[in-house]
Amino acid sequence: MKNLFTILVANLLLLSCTAQKNAPLELNPAFDPIRTSTLNERYEKALRDLAGMSNSAEKFAVDGYNYLEWAVDGKLIDPLKTAEAKEAFYAGLLADSLFPLNYVGLGQIELREGNGGKADTYFAKARSIVDNKKFKATKDLKYTTYIAIAAANIAETSKNLNAAKTVLDALAEVEITNQNIVLQLGLTLGDYNSFKEINDQSKAITQYNKCLEIDPKYVPALYRKAKLYRGAKNNDEALKFFNEAIATDPTFAPSYREKAELLKDYARFEEAIAAYSKYLELNNSCRVQQRYASFFYLTKNYDRAIYEVTATIPCNPENFTLNRVLGYSHLELKNFAEAKNSMDIYFARQAVKNQDASDYSNYSKICLGLGQDSLGIVYLEKAIELFPEYTEGYNEIATIYTNKAIASKGKENEALRIKLYSQAANWYEKKMVKLGADAKDQFIQGQMYYFSQQYVLADTTFRRSSVRYPEAWFWVAKSQNKIDLAAVTETSPAQGLAKPFYEKGIILVGQDPAIIEKNKKNLAEAYQYLGLYYGNMGDINCSKSAWNQVLQLDPTNKFANQLLVTPETLDPELVAAPGDCQLVVYPEIPKEETEGN
């Protein structure tokens, strides 16, 4: 856009003050087709059409609103287009300081930028103009201004629903004869209710239906209904109304875009691409071509995404998000070198405020694919630093250290392996310092301490996790056994420190068939320990009882088979023992009283 603000400042002396004119303030219907282009997301066409019209306050207002809508792309807000909108609204005030919609537009920008107080000032100024009879604002302009104020307070993230309700209530007190304004009011009331009653969308639906009673072909109402149903995860109803909107007005482009997004979420990728192709056909521009190209990534057609994105980059090389799409697509195809190249370009050019945690997480995966594990960890650490809500990063870093430890096999790598497991444990500790204790994290952290030979810490950590994970007692026993064996000398034998904890594990998990099945390995290990313990103590009967339990749980257990099954190696004394020792005493489960007893 030309620097309209500069042009008008240069020609300010040529402008007359509207406040001194007797002509009424009114809306010019010549701008209606341009407003329709903006509604249809044909922003480029709106600009082209505006360029051929004479400068006026309303022209700048229409221009500002076109940029204001254009700036919104999903959850992202383009600050440059928002700045263009602000410049256009200021230019409108220079052209005519009494045209109210420029004040409303500036108020919406203040809301977008989190300045509620300034927004209220602009909205109040707009109302003071249309409410003052001396300025001769037509009813249509007055009501349109009120609706625009309400819509602005609803549209932005920092909403002011009370302010929206105030102006909507004021409109409820007047009789509006212009059907287009009645429909716009109904649409805005529906939008208000959709946010006010977030858990009950029936009031919003009622307002949209009232619009359709007035004009059954009023597509914005059908479109809003479809979006509400999609937001409520009622995808069948949403698709029904998107299709109805398309059938009613095949030129209303947003219906195709939203339908494409819905079908993509349904994993109906071919249909999604077809719907987006129609959106591109209606809104053929560099902007839409690039979004269409990116859509192939969302539909998991990564080869096509790379082809389409590469073809569309030249029309707007400043759209750095496309480098991210290329990077993500190459990552999915395991083209790690190409993925890294694209993401390096993206990080070099895209402002941090427009990045997100997934960029760093995916870059980490690319580094891992290239064998650059340390760099991958660095980028996950950056993600945690830049995006505190990205708590998955702690687990991802811990997992990298764990996988590296597992891969470091052999006695020659023991020191490295211990260090890596210790680093994994440290990251679980960092996570719990940040987010609070969690039994699952404690259970995994205990294993990291155990494998890094920090058995006292492992013991303590497993005990903490046992509230939720009773099988943690087996790991307490394993840790105690390691502590016990570490103290063994020629004069000081093992003390059997693990025995009570293995027994506790057996008692806690050994009565429920589902839990037994899940813990067969742990139970077999526990009974094997008891078999060895009682054998060393000379209690052959209890030792055999334990080994019998091992065979029941694991018929392939090497030691149990050697002692009790294999003829060449079996222990005759152990075989001859009755094996009727009660190894553990399960707590008695009270019987439920039956009715009538």
Q: How does pLDDT run across 130-175, given as a tens digit for each residue? A: 999 999 999 999 999 999 999 999 999 999 999 999 999 999 999 9
Q: Which long-range CB contacts under 8 A does 157-164 form with residues at least 24 apart?
A: 157/112, 158/111, 158/112, 158/114, 158/116, 159/111, 159/195, 160/111, 160/116, 160/119, 160/120, 161/192, 161/195, 161/196, 163/120, 163/123, 164/188, 164/192
Q: Letter for the amino acid at 347?
A: F
What mean pLDDT, rounded, does the chain reach? 92
125 lies in some domain:
no
* Domain harbouring 499, CATH code: 1.25.40.10
What is d(CA 65, CA 81) in angstroms, rounded to the nearest whole number?
10
Q: Look at residue 591 and tell me whether its pLDDT is greater than 50.
A: no
pLDDT band at 514 (very low <50, low <70, confident <90, very high): confident
- Tell me what percent of the chain is helix, strand and coil, each rounded to the nearest 5: 75, 0, 25
Contact, 67 vs 105, CB < 8 A? no
Q: What is the pLDDT of residue 22?
A: 57
Q: What is the pLDDT of residue 594?
A: 37
Which structural domain range is residue 570 located in?
Answer: 470-576
For 247, residues 6+ apart whose C-beta sits below 8 A from its C-beta are: none
523 lies in some domain:
yes
Q: What is the pLDDT of residue 150?
A: 97
The first and second tokens of residue 202, run together, are 């029936």
304 lies in some domain:
no
Q: Look at residue 6 and tell me whether its pLDDT is greater than 50.
A: no
What is d(CA 410, CA 423) in angstroms, rounded to the nearest whole number?
19
Among 268, 272, 201, 255, which residue's Cα sits nearest to residue 231?
201
**Continuous segment of H or E residues that includes residue 76:** strand 76-77
436 lies in some domain:
no
Q: What is the pLDDT of residue 510?
A: 80
pLDDT in tens, 95-106: 999 999 999 999
Contact, 316 vs 286, CB < 8 A? yes
Beta bridge partner(s), residue 537: none
Q: What is the pLDDT of residue 20?
A: 45
pLDDT in tens, 570-580: 999 999 999 99
Q: How many CA atoms lie within 13 A of 592 on its CB side?
A: 2
The first and second tokens of residue 53, run together, are 């019209």
Give me the number of domains the chain comprises.
1
pLDDT band at 219 (very low <50, low <70, confident <90, very high): very high
517 lies in some domain:
yes
pLDDT band at 547 (very low <50, low <70, confident <90, very high): very high
546 lies in some domain:
yes
The first and second tokens of residue 519, run together, are 């813990």
Least confident of 42-46, 257-261, 350-354: 350-354
218 lies in some domain:
no
Q: What is the pLDDT of residue 236?
A: 94
Q: What is the pLDDT of residue 389?
A: 93
Q: What is the pLDDT of residue 295?
A: 92
How many other C-beta atoms lie within 10 A of the C-beta of residue 348? Answer: 9
For 259-274, what is the mean pLDDT? 93
What is d(CA 294, CA 24) in angstroms, rounded to the nearest whole number?
48
pLDDT band at 268 (very low <50, low <70, confident <90, very high): very high
pLDDT in tens, 382-418: 999 999 999 999 999 999 999 999 999 999 999 999 9
What does residue 25 show for φ and ψ, rounded to 5 degrees? -80, 125
Q: Look at residue 526 and tell me whether its pLDDT is greater than 70.
A: yes
Which residue has tokens 């819509």?
151
Q: Look at residue 200 and tell me whether its pLDDT is greater than 90.
A: no
Contact, 202 vs 235, CB < 8 A? no
CA dihedral 191→195→200→202, nearest 10 degrees, is: -10
Q: Look at residue 597 and tell me whether its pLDDT is greater than 80.
A: no
Q: What is the pLDDT of residue 588?
A: 61
Query: With pLDDT > 70 as the criterion, what percentage of the chain qualifies?
Result: 94
531 lies in some domain:
yes
Q: What is the pLDDT of residue 74?
A: 78
